[in-house]
Amino acid sequence: MQKVKKAILPVAGLGTRVLPATKVIPKEMLPVVDRPAIEYVVDEARAAGIEHIVFVTGRGKGAIEDHFDQAYELEENLQQKGKQQILDELQRNLPKAGSTSFVRQQAPLGLGHAVWCARDIIGDEPFAVLLPDVLIKAKTSCLAQMVEVYDKTGGNIIAVDEIPAEDVNKYGIIDPVSQDGDIYKMRAMIEKPDIGSAPSNLKITGRYILQPEIFGLLENQATGAGGEIQLTDAMATMMQDQEFYALKYQGVDFDCGNKLGYLRAIAHFALSNSELGNEARKVFEDALQENQ
């Protein structure tokens, strides 16, 4: 069984749910405390042993590529001013040469199409998909937890977490057939089921480990919901021939694709920041008092 060494980050989305902030700034580059959101996702992938990341980009996303490249003028300026600590941090976050690729989606044809655009770089290997809208705060990175399960089960893995039963109509929900601790063998996924008829309260959370056979399905797949090529449609087809598991991961997720989710992420990551946490708590407490 091949190891999971490559990951796809689909970053071509327009970020319409957080406009006007994303009019000229890629949504993935919006800061969460002191770093752009995309950096947290890349760190999660690296912590899981991912060796090569494929960014599927679109127009106006050049800032992402620049962020993961050297900035010679800035680094030289920091060096001359003796700001070594900041310089070291910038260089520490740079990916190794040749460990990232950038491909263009060119047209907004859906998540399934974005994943398919990375097919030549992924090749005939299992791979991870991390949705950059979703940040996950966990002691052990969510993807690392998934890789640990994959090394035991093989197949395909989807990250899930529990939500209140009254919220199931807002998310994609899995239909489990059996359970072993936090691992569920699944037979279907249902998009936004009616309250009361949902097969579970386990929502799909934007992290996947998939087998390369999905590229062949995506290549000829008809458009689905929203007139787009949906990754979940291809997964549902592949589920007929391959094993799919869901992992109820340990952690908390934040949907930075909407304004309140983005605000929640800032609050949580600020409070847990080793340098700013105590002062951030006072800032939030003062803000609550001042706005009563």
- Model pLDDT for residues 35-83, shown as the tens digit of each residue: 999 999 999 999 999 999 999 999 888 999 999 988 889 888 988 889 9
Answer whether residue 108 shows pLDDT above 90.
Answer: no
Answer whether residue 225 shows pLDDT above 80.
Answer: no
Domain chopping of the chain, boundaries: 6-258
Answer whether residue 224 shows pLDDT above 80.
Answer: no
Give 186's DSSP letter.
E
Q: What is the pTM of this model?
A: 0.92
In whole numbers, what is the pLDDT of the chain averaged over residues? 92
Residue 164, preceding bond cis, omega within 30 degrees?
no
Alpha helices (H) in 14-166, listed in sequence order: 37-47, 62-67, 72-80, 84-92, 111-116, 119-122, 142-153
CA distances (Å), origin 10, targets 27, 98, 118, 129 = 12, 19, 9, 8
Cα-only R_g, the chain: 20
Break the chain down into helix, strand, coil percent, rounded to 5: 40, 25, 35
Residue 55's beta-bridge partner residues? 9, 102
> Which of 3.40.50.720, 3.90.550.10, 3.40.190.10, 1.10.10.1150 would CATH assign to domain 6-258?
3.90.550.10
pLDDT value of residue 1: 80
> What are the tens digits of pLDDT across the range 180-221?
999 999 999 888 888 888 999 999 999 999 999 999 999 888
Confidence at 135, pLDDT banded by 50, 70, 90: very high
Confidence at 13, pLDDT banded by 50, 70, 90: confident
> What are the tens digits of pLDDT across the range 75-100?
889 888 899 888 888 888 788 888 99
